[in-house]
């Protein structure tokens, strides 16, 4: 697929996706979402990449799904288009995805952030689900993921008023990991990604899967999932390397095997 609305870069073992539709504040049109999902999947398959960073620009991460593409369609058009189905594939990406967010992360932009695993924000970042202002509601997971992240009462307030959270508020509610000055938000995300790519990839993969299970599974099933994956890691070379390196007081050299 030719990339029209995103730019793709590599920095060592980190894949970087830049949303690039600046005049529309990176509003996510259908082709752009396809490009994002296909690129995430190809980075997930690429053995040279071990973590992914997704970012926009200083002014906007993404100001939502593209309203122009939705204004005049009817329900059956929406049903046949089924535009949010492709979003489900983001949750299947096995490598860690870090969002580096500055400016607007609204509607689909906020939903994209909530599909990432770690979020670094600049002081100017704004997170919200303003769909109610348009006569609709979130469609790419906003009512569910916002509520799981913020708790019922705060999510309800924001979803019903359409108001957004500042970066500091988002940090307070646990929606994001860190707020940093705008000059360094992407550097911070890249630094974090570079730290993760030095970790054993199979353990990283199973930890990500297990944390995601914790959101949906009852505790006993989550514990069972965790335990089986813990035992599974004892067949990896990286487990032997990590534990022997500890005993020998040297830095481990993880191979992803
Ligand atoms: N879709 C299409 N175009 C958009 C857009 C969107 N979501 N957000 C911004 N744009 C466009 C504007 O139309 C404008 O284009 P023109 O210059 O051609 O007029 C350009 O981006 C700049 O926007 P503004 O002039 O509005 O910039 P501003 O700084 O005054 O305001 C803003 C910024 C508060 C983010 C405002 O643009 C806004 O409210 N955008 C819409 C936010 C929104 O409602 N998002 C939810 C969309 S629906 C959705 O996402 C459903 C879902 O669950 C997936």
Mean pLDDT taken over the chain: 97
| DSSP secondary structure string for all residues of 49-64 | --EEEEE--SSEEE-S
Which candidate, 124, 121, 128, 123, places its Cα nearest to that of 105?
128
Ligand 1 pocket mutation pick from 30, 61, 64 by most atoms within 8 angstroms of CB: 64
CA atoms within 13 A on the CB side of 122: 22
Write the pLDDT tens digit of every residue in 21-58: 999 999 999 999 999 999 999 999 999 999 999 999 99
195 CA to centre of ligand 1 in angstroms = 35
Which pLDDT score, from 0 to 100, does residue 109 have?
A: 98
Mean pLDDT, residues 232-243: 97
- pLDDT, one tens digit per residue, over 86-142 is 999 999 999 999 999 999 999 999 999 999 999 999 999 999 999 999 999 999 999
pTM over 0.95: yes
Q: Number of C-alpha atoms within 13 angstroms, CB side, residue 203?
A: 19
Q: CB of 14 within 8 A of CB of 50?
A: yes
Question: Which one of the listed residues 27, 51, 63, 65 is annotated catalytic?
Answer: 65
Ligand 1 pocket list (CB less than 6 A): 24-25, 27, 63-68, 104, 106-108, 111, 130-131, 134, 138-140, 142
Known catalytic membership, residue 65: yes
The pLDDT of residue 1 is 84
Atom of ligand 1 nearest to the CA of 141: 53
Angle between helices 201-216 and 237-247 (to 10 degrees): 110
111 belongs to the catalytic site: yes
Active-site choice (35, 131, 188, 226): 131
Residue nearest to atom 7 of ligand 1 (CA): 64
Residue 178's CB is within 10 A of a number of other CB atoms, namely 14
- Residue 222 CA to residue 211 CA, distance in Å, equals 9
Which residues partner with 8 through β-bridges? 17
pLDDT > 90: percent of the chain = 99
């Amino acid at each position: 697929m030719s990339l029209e609305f995103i730019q793709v870069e590599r920095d060592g073992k980190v894949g970087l996706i830049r949303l690039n539709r600046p005049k529309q504040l990176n509003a996510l049109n259908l082709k752009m979402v396809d490009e994002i999902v296909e690129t995430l999947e190809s980075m997930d398959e690429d053995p040279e990449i071990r973590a992914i960073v997704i970012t926009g620009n200083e002014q906007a991460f993404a100001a939502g799904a593209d309203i122009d593409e939705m204004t005049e369609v009817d329900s059956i058009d929406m049903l046949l288009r089924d535009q949010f189905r492709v979003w489900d594939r983001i949750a299947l990406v096995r490598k860690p995805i870090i969002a580096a967010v500055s400016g607007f992360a609204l509607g689909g932009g906020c939903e994209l952030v909530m599909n990432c695993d770690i979020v670094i924000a600049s002081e100017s970042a704004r997170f919200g689900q303003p769909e109610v202002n348009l006569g609709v509601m979130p469609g790419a997971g906003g009512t569910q993921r916002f509520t799981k992240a913020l708790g019922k009462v705060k999510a309800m307030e924001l979803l019903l008023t359409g108001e957004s959270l500042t970066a500091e508020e988002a940090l307070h509610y646990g929606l994001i990991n860190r707020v940093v000055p705008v000059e360094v938000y992407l550097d911070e995300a890249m630094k974090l990604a570079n730290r993760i790519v030095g970790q054993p990839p199979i353990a990283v993969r199973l930890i990500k899967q297990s944390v995601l299970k914790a959101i949906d599974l009852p505790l006993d099933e989550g514990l069972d999932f965790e335990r089986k994956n813990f035992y599974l890691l004892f067949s990896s070379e990286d487990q032997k390397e990590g534990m022997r390196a500890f005993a020998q007081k040297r830095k481990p050299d993880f191979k992803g095997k």
